[in-house]
Structure 1
Amino acid sequence: MDNLPLLRRGVDVFFAIAFAAFTVTSLISDLLPTVGVDFSHPSSNFFVNSNYWYAHDTDPLFMDPPTWMRIVTGLSAFGYMPFYVVFVYALITGRNWIQLPAVIYATMIVTLTGIVVFGVEFFGEPQWRTPNPAKFLAFNSPYVLVPLVLLVRMRKPAPFTRRF
């Protein structure tokens, strides 16, 4: 069975746009804490200041990350980000081989972000609890919800041969 063209797979257009955006946010947000850039105060650097703005008002865990959190952001910056590029390519060109890597990715992201990071932000040590849960969820829920929907999308063999 031939794959449907991208424009007949509307949910895949959404995924291509979302994961292209995840590529950029992974580069900007996750790379900085991983390599130890200090954004605990405002800066003239746009990327550092963007992270300061987010972390100061929303995510104290992100502002002063413990070692385990730097490992999580490093996985995003150096593992997930290359996957995003490959995934967007596979979506656009309708490559069914991306199904298993997509399921592995989505499972990892839901586990690390959805359970571990959200758990610490809401129930962990007081210094890391988010001061603004609604804002935290508004910023971070897409990084868990989109992979959950992706798991549903990739549930059948040859996912690009039929509509979602």
Structure 2
Amino acid sequence: MTTPVPVNLALSRRRIDVFFAVVFAAFTVTSVISDLLPTIGVNFSHPSGNFFVQSNYWYAHDADPLFMNPPDWMRIVTGLSAFVYMPFYPVLVYALLTGKNWIQLPAVIYATMIVSLTGIVVFGVEFFGEPAFRTHNPAKFLSFNLPYVLVPLLLLIRMRKPLPFARKF
């Protein structure tokens, strides 16, 4: 007797995966724009004519003083985003759109790291850490950064089933 092979649901019946694919495609772009620059040491502590530098200046000046002059540990966090998470995003988008169940474990590892590093460490410093790094505008900081923790947390919940894209028998 053979065990039936589960059939994945069509993408049209997995709207949540379309949502995740769109968001993680956007995260690919934001990782390049916002996380690569502090990692490689680009100074954006003052206005600039360069669009990418100016975007980071605007964000850091208005919402995130920790990001304006990142300590070494923060550059490690942004480096993970720029060089580990960012290449993972297109793989994740592909797997979500095509229903590849092998993405489950990498997605869980990724989401756990994001929630731990960003959700706990970075948010902790921003709200409870050294006064120089505390955000002066918590609402703006959260509006920019909460999606980067909540969406991976939702992905973690989405990937809880053994075969996340399969229909039930």
TM norm structure 2: 0.95
Q: Pick one of 134, 143, 158 that aligns with 1:153.
A: 158
1:120 is matched with which residue?
Answer: 125
Whose Rg is larger? 2
- Give the Å deviation of 1:2: 1.1
Q: Distance in 2 between matches of 1:147 and 1:128?
A: 25
1:80 is matched with which residue?
Answer: 85
The amino acid that maps onto 2:66 is L
Stretches (4+) displaced over 4 A? none
2:112 is matched with which residue?
Answer: 107
- Give the Å deviation of 1:162: 3.2
Task: Please list every run of 5 or more consecutive structure 2 residues that lacks an aligned counterpart in the other structure.
Answer: 1-5
The amino acid that maps onto 1:15 is F
Aligned residues: 163
1:23 is matched with which residue?
Answer: 28
Q: Distance in 2 between matches of 1:52 and 1:7?
A: 40
TM norm structure 1: 0.98
The amino acid that maps onto 1:135 is K
Q: Pick one of 43, 46, 53 that aligns with 1:41.
A: 46
- Give the Å deviation of 1:6: 1.2
2:148 is matched with which residue?
Answer: 143
Question: RMSD value over aligned CA atoms?
Answer: 0.9
CA contact (8 A) 2:7 2:167 kept: no
The amino acid that maps onto 1:102 is A
Q: Distance in 2 between matches of 1:32 and 1:119?
A: 22
- Give the Å deviation of 1:106: 0.3
